[in-house]
Amino acid sequence: GAVVSQHPSRVICKSGTSVKIECRSLDFQATTMFWYRQFPKQSLMLMATSNEGSKATYEQGVEKDKFLINHASLTLSTLTVTSAHPEDSSFYICSAPQAYRNTEAFFGQGTRLTVV
């Protein structure tokens, strides 16, 4: 199947700093990517849809100014957690369906963010 690579896999940062997470589709193009957040022992919650060449769309309750999303190319989306706080500590995971195909979503390996 297609491969989605996410980087970094783990990051620890200080409160108030920003953290960038990358999501790359390695062997296919993805006009759309999705960002999810998963708190311990909870489900994956869709945060936002990253659209290549246009603005991201955010789910209700997700602060767009805090979670900046950039979809610079057909293979790369980035999520920047700005002014991170301990409550932002979570598992962030991206997914990407293959462009123009109605197939399964391929997930990145996830990023464990810890804000201290």
Partner 1 sequence: GENVEQHPSTLSVQEGDSAVIKCTYSDSASNYFPWYKQELGKRPQLIIDIRSNVGEKKDQRIAVTLNKTAKHFSLHITETQPEDSAVYFCAGERFNKFYFGSGTKLNVKP
| Minimum separation from the CB atom of position 91 to partner 1 (A) | 8
| Minimum separation from the CB atom of position 92 to partner 1 (A) | 11
Q: Which is nearer to partner 1, 82 or 105 (CB)?
A: 105
Q: Which is nearer to partner 1, 17 or 99 (CB)?
A: 99
Q: For residue 74, which of 96, 102, 52, 97 has the smallest C-alpha distance?
A: 52
d(CA 84, CA 17): 6
Q: Which is nearer to partner 1, 38 or 82 (CB)?
A: 38
| Minimum separation from the CB atom of position 46 to partner 1 (A) | 6
Q: Which is nearer to partner 1, 15 or 26 (CB)?
A: 26
CA distance readout (Å), 65 to 79, 80, 100: 11, 10, 30
d(CA 62, CA 17): 19
Residue 33 pairs with which residues in a beta bridge?
50
Cβ atoms of 21 and 111 within 8 Å: the answer is: yes
Interface residues toward partner 1, by CB under 8 A:
32, 34, 36, 42-46, 49, 59, 91, 93, 95, 97, 102, 104-105, 107-110, 112
